[in-house]
Structures are given as structure tokens and as C-alpha cells.
Amino acid sequence: MSTSVLSPVGRFAGRRPPWLSPKVFRTEALAGLVVGLALIPEAISFSIIAGVDPAVGLFASFTMAVVISFVGGRPAMISAATGAVALVIAPLNREHGFGYLVAGVILGGIFQIVLGALGVARLMRFVPRSVMVGFVNSLAILVFLGQVPEISDVPWAVYPLVAGGLALMVFFPRITKAVPAPLVSIVILTVITVAAGIAVPTVGDKGELPSSLPVPGLPDVPFTLDTLTTIAPYALAMALVGLMESLMTAKLVDEITDTHSNKTRESIGQGIANIVTGFFGGMGGCAMIGQTMINVRVSGARTRLSTFLAGTFLMVLCIVFGPVVSDIPMAALVAVMIMVCFATFDWHSIAPKTLRRMPAGEITVMVVTVVCVVATENLAVGVVVGSITAMVIFARRVAHFADVTSVTDPDGSRVVYSVTGELFFASSNDLVGRFAYATDPDRVVVDLSAAHIWDASSVATLDAITTRYEQRGKQVEIVGLNEQSARIHGSLSGELTGSH
């Protein structure tokens, strides 16, 4: 008997998710478990920054990770409660109460969806590589600095535990890579501290873990225009910081995995995840560089399954295995994060061989980005200042490429000025002084065949040159304009000052 309809297995066999492979599934599941463990103390710490109960940060990490695994644009990237968002949103809770914080998170998610739909992700093309390198290095430094309090003023036993954890993560992969080294390190150090009764700071010391799942509900605020105007500035700041950190992290993961991701979908997905998080009473969040590096670079995860399981394991660990998780020594997690710092930092970028070959401007941009991020502990500030610095350096560099040469006809009746280069605000301002207005013949030709007009400043400069000659009774002809330059010049010439 013949069949004309494919079975369900046959119909979907050609596009089976990669995580259905046993090997991939094992990698993704173990990576998710490691990330879930690492998220717990981080989420509790960020809750303290925001001034809320530890459960609020843990719920946010759970909902952000689970939702973004479905709606995000960058597979294997981890989104959860973050310090950057906590810092921005904390004043709402401090000054107006928890209900306003939740409402701000929801509105921030709405802003992210709108910004994503408007194409804010396309702005990432204007972030230079030197800013990206500075972003990565500053993140590694910030993550390391975040571990310093965990190894300051602590029992002496913490230090050998951290050293042992690092040694395990360095040497264990040489035996086998079937199980992530960070997970092995966490398990072994926990067993040692519990069995030997070693008194060191544990995850439980950070705060009480939740014992039940979050329940959805509306924020406890008056739904008025006054409430909207109160939360809007914080929500917009949260949206911008969250998107910038998420898009920069997504770009970094793209480079590590040599794959492309949908940044617009990621932007909108971040908004959806924050809205859901807000309705579940979470504090909001965005992509997490540290946990993402654990997932992608250290554990080798590549699919959405690891992100989903990271959030799922987080809740299971808190609710079902809370007492066990509470016994995990912070030293084990500190060792994992230090390893992440080492793996994240772009050591090649500061190698003497690289620095000797790199243009001074590129090094300056990288250093400015790192200094701004580390000084402010705000990734958005560093990226914006670094990008502006790069643009200024680029503008100064390109400005020097504009040049003027002149040739006078043998009979002295005409002079031809040939202008070459890109004409924009930085390069065109110097052109006015390159013409001999008093001594030139009565006919002047300005040849722009080898130039391009980019802005109104260049048109205004050409108008100024023409006016100076006309004041001396001399005729000026501008020739050689390409199509775009002619269109800009034609529409703006004579319209930029009130003298025409």
C-alpha cells in the first residue's frame, strides 16, 4: 500500500532541532546546570543592589532566561537579572516603592519592543572593533572586581578552595570534556567543605532562597498619568542600558561562535522578557556577559536549550534543592567567575606585538572605553563615549585627506582649482583659506570631480568661496559634481545664509 503523506517523523526529520542529538543535549543540559548554579548568588547580589528581596532577583533570572530562550534572537546567550539594570531601576524602589519598580520594568520592556521595531539594533554597525575590544576587556575587569569582596576579609580556607577550583577547571578538561569543568569544580569543593565541616561563606549566606514559583499579577500602583511620568525616565534608561548590553553581548557571541544572530529579534525579545518578568514581580534584566561566557566559551553550549534549562534549573535548585544549594561555598563560584574573566579578556589586544602595529587612535579608543566602563560600572557609558571618541578620531583622520591644487592657464585668463577628498564639516572648513582671491584671474573654475560633498557645511564653504570671488568681480564656476553632490549642492546652495 502506497502512502502519499509523510509521517510526522519524516516531515520534520529534515529540520530536527540540533539539541535532539544526545551529545548536544548532554552539553546543553550540563551547561544550563552550571549557569543555573552561577546565577543564584549573582541574582541575590543584584537584588541587594536594587533594594529588594532576594526572591525578586531570582524570579527575574528565571523568567528572563526561560522567555528569552523562545523569543530572543541569539541562541545560547543568557539573559537574567543584571547589575546594570538594578542600578538604573533601584531609585524607583527606594523613592516610590516596589510597585513602581515593577511598573517601570514593564514599561521598560514596552520601550525595548518599540526601539527594536524602530531598528535600534542597526546602530550596532557604528560600534567600531576597538570599542568592542574595550567592551570585552572592561567586562572581564568588572566581573573580576565583583569577585574581590568575596575573597576579602574571609576565612583563610577560602583561598586554597579558590585555588583548587581554578586548578580543577584548568586540568580537568585534559582528562575529559564530557562534563563541564566548572560543574566538577563546584561539586568537588562543595563535598569537601561539607564533609570536612569547613566554615566558609556559602550561597545560603547571600539570602534566603524562594520555596515556591512566582505568581503573576499587576503592579501595585495607581494607573494614572502621574505614575507614568514618574516611571518613564527610569524605564527608558533601563531599556537603553539593557538593549546596549544585550546587543553588545550578542555581537560578542556571534564572533565566538562564528554565526549570525537576529539583533532586531533580540531587541524585541528582551522587551517581551522584561514585560513577562514585570508581571511576575521580577526586577527586570538583560543579557549577562559572565554567565553567557560560562555557557558559550567554557561549557560549549550553542543552542536555546541551554538558556531555557539555565532558568529552569535555577528555580528547581532553589525550590527542590534549596538546602543543598545553600551549602555551595562561594569560593567555588568565585573560582568559576575568575576563570570566566580570564577566558573573556582579549589578551591578544594588549600583547606588545599587537600594540606596536595598532594605530594610536585605535589604542586610545580601546583604553577610553575600558576606563569609562570600569570608572562608572556602566557599560552603556563606556560604549557611547568610546564610539564618540572613535568618530572624532576618524573625522580628524579623514579631514586631512581633502586637498586643493591649482593650475593657471598659460595666457593667465583662467585658474582651475582641483579639490580632492571627502568634504564634510571637519574637512571643508579649511578650504576657504586655500584660494588666492586677490591675485587669481577673473575666471575661476572649482573642479570637484575627485571630491564628494557630504553635508551642509561643505555647501556653505563653497558658497563662501564663491562670495569672496564675486565681491572682487570675478566669476566662479563649480564643475565635476557627482550626482549626489550635485543634488545636495543644488538644494542648499544660496539657502544657508540670509545674504542671498
Measure the CA dihedral 476/482/487/493, to 10°: -20
Q: Which phi and psi angles does 329 have, rounded to 5°?
A: -70, 140
- Looking at residue 487, what is its pLDDT? 94
pLDDT band at 235 (very low <50, low <70, confident <90, very high): very high
287 has a pLDDT exceeding 70: yes
**How big is the chain by its Cα radius of gyration, in Å?**
29
Q: What is the pLDDT of residues 400-434, one digit of tens each?
A: 778 899 999 998 899 999 999 989 888 887 788 89
- Give me the chain's average pLDDT, please: 89
- Looking at residue 153, what is its pLDDT? 92
4 has a pLDDT exceeding 60: no
Cβ(449)–Cβ(480) below 8 Å? yes
- Looking at residue 344, what is its pLDDT? 77
**Mean pLDDT score, 24-52:** 88
14 has a pLDDT exceeding 60: no
- Looking at residue 7, what is its pLDDT? 41
How far from 117 is each of 166, 258, 279, 357, CA to CA, in Å?
Answer: 43, 26, 22, 40
Q: Which phi and psi angles does 449 have, rounded to 5°?
A: -60, -35
How far from 342 is each of 189, 289, 373, CA to CA, in Å?
Answer: 20, 13, 18
Q: How far apart are the first and last CA of the chain?
A: 88
Give strand ranges (E) for 222-346. Answer: 286-287
pLDDT band at 497 (very low <50, low <70, confident <90, very high): low
Consecutive H or E run containing 182: helix 181-196
C-alpha cell at 377: 560600572
110 has a pLDDT exceeding 90: yes
pLDDT band at 11 (very low <50, low <70, confident <90, very high): very low
Q: Best-predicted range by mean pLDDT among 133-147, 329-343, 430-444?
A: 430-444
pLDDT band at 147 (very low <50, low <70, confident <90, very high): confident
187 has a pLDDT exceeding 60: yes
pLDDT band at 12 (very low <50, low <70, confident <90, very high): very low
Q: Which phi and psi angles does 429 have, rounded to 5°?
A: -65, -25
97 has a pLDDT exceeding 70: yes
How far from 103 is each of 60, 97, 271, 336, 449, CA to CA, in Å?
Answer: 14, 10, 13, 34, 58
Q: Best-predicted range by mean pLDDT among 36-40, 62-66, 92-96, 245-249?
A: 62-66
- Looking at residue 9, what is its pLDDT? 42
pLDDT band at 339 (very low <50, low <70, confident <90, very high): confident
> HSE of 101 in the Cβ direction (CA atoms, 13 Å)?
28
41 has a pLDDT exceeding 90: no
How far from 419 is each of 179, 363, 409, CA to CA, in Å?
Answer: 65, 32, 17
329 has a pLDDT exceeding 70: yes
State the Cα angle at 379 between 377 and 385, rounded to 5°: 105
415-445 as b/e, with b when 16 or more CB fall inside 10 Å?
A: bbbbbbbbbbebbbbebeeebeeeebeeebb
Q: In the chain, what percentage of residues exceed pLDDT 70?
A: 96
How far from 268 is each of 62, 70, 401, CA to CA, in Å?
Answer: 18, 12, 41
44 has a pLDDT exceeding 60: yes
- Looking at residue 500, what is its pLDDT? 43
pLDDT band at 206 (very low <50, low <70, confident <90, very high): confident
- Cell 545674504 appears where? 499
- Looking at residue 5, what is its pLDDT? 44
Q: What is the pTM of this model?
A: 0.75
